[in-house]
Chains A and B, each alone.
Chain A
Amino acid sequence: MPPLDDASFEACYRRAFPLVLAKCRRMLRGHADATDVAQEVFVRLWKHRELIDDHPALTAWLYRTSTHLVIDRARNRAFSQENLAHLHSALQGRAVSDSEARFISREELRRLLADCPEPEVEAAILSRVDRLTHPEIAEVMGVGERTVRRLLGRFDERTGALQETA
């Protein structure tokens, strides 16, 4: 894959934007927030185009960057309450049905994000929301598989502890 230039960047956007948007919508239910994050991913892609030299690197970078952006914005509460509740329920693998459950869910997410280092949340999103295998998570995050297992194990410990205190 040749380095991205003005012409190939637009072609890359046309082909890859739908998959980034789909990934953002798995993390966030709302279309507006998901579109906003997906576009920011491409703004960053242009700035870091030197990092991309093949298609696997492109998809790995898009997954990693969109996950980071969602975690950052969720920490800063830049999303609607419904989207935060959706992200938490997607991480926990359970649906939230009513407004009370949504309230509890987003409060749990707030505590989780305050307590949990970003790589643990990143690995959990890639595993639970995007169904990536451990080798795929290791590839996207640029770490070893043992590290992935450790990150996911710690994430589960933290969520378990938070649920106990709740």
Chain B
Amino acid sequence: MTTSPSPLSHPSYLALDRASLGEPSAEIAQHMESCAECRRHVASLAEPPPASGFVRVRQQLDAQKRSKLRVLFMLAPVVAAAAGVLLFVALRPQPELPAGQLGEQPYVGTKGFTSVWIYVKHGSASELWDGKRALFAGDRLRLKLDPGQFRHVQVYSVKGPDAPALLFTGSVTPGQSVTLPDAWKVDAEPGAERLLVAFSNQPLEPVWPDWLQGKAPPGVTLLPFVLPKSESPDLDGGAGTP
């Protein structure tokens, strides 16, 4: 099979389903005027499903949440034991160090765990970026962040040392993951897409020579991402290709 026009000249079920959700094209509307079969299909979609179905979906989601919590409770003793071992290692008596080696550098720790999820939308298909998959011009990127204990986030596109562009800056709620409201389109320029996510407690003025080397000032976490780019989706078959 080399071509697949819709059999019997009917639109695809996807096109009809989209029409039923309120996106009918003029072509589909015209076809439906003269096609009882397609009209029947679209009419059948207008019947609301029984409410019990949604209750079952909710029950399944709740059950999965409970089972996750159960696993966490089961792991709690292991985590507590590991914490005890770490505490012992941290508090055990240390051999005396020569004067001048203690207390010179203030300790700055990372507050909580920060995470970034990158969603890539290619056509209408969106997927979580796996850390390797190449992007294509026209793909759209959206970021979900877990700011840990930080209160502010800045996202930059770093094309080169001279051209960092601020994509997003804004406040976040500590401990609450958030999906950024903006999505960014991948351009056709050659070279990988480089993103830098900066977590802090207040808006920052970037110090690019340091930031590009990964040197973050105290109380700031920098997460760099390099997303490779490919010229044509068909060169590697794209997502889901064997």
Residues of A within 8 A of B (CB): 3, 10, 13-19, 21-23, 26, 35, 39-40, 42-43, 46-47, 50-53, 55-61, 63-64, 117-120, 122, 127, 130-134, 136-147, 149-153, 156
Contact = CB atoms under 8 A, between A and B. Distances in A.
Interface string B165-178: 00000000000000
Contacts of B11: 131
26 contacts: A13-B57, A17-B49, A17-B53, A17-B54, A19-B21, A21-B49, A22-B13, A39-B57, A51-B127, A51-B128, A57-B121, A59-B18, A61-B124, A63-B14, A117-B242, A119-B241, A119-B242, A131-B6, A133-B6, A136-B12, A139-B124, A140-B124, A141-B125, A142-B238, A143-B234, A144-B234
Nearest to B124: A60
Overall SS of chain A's interface: helix
Best-surrounded residue of B4, B46, B239 (most CB of chain A within 10 A): B4
B238 A144 contact: yes
A139 B125 contact: yes
A131 B56 contact: no
B123 A60 contact: yes
Interface string B13-31: 1110110111100000000
A136 B5 CA distance: 11
A85 B194 CA distance: 49
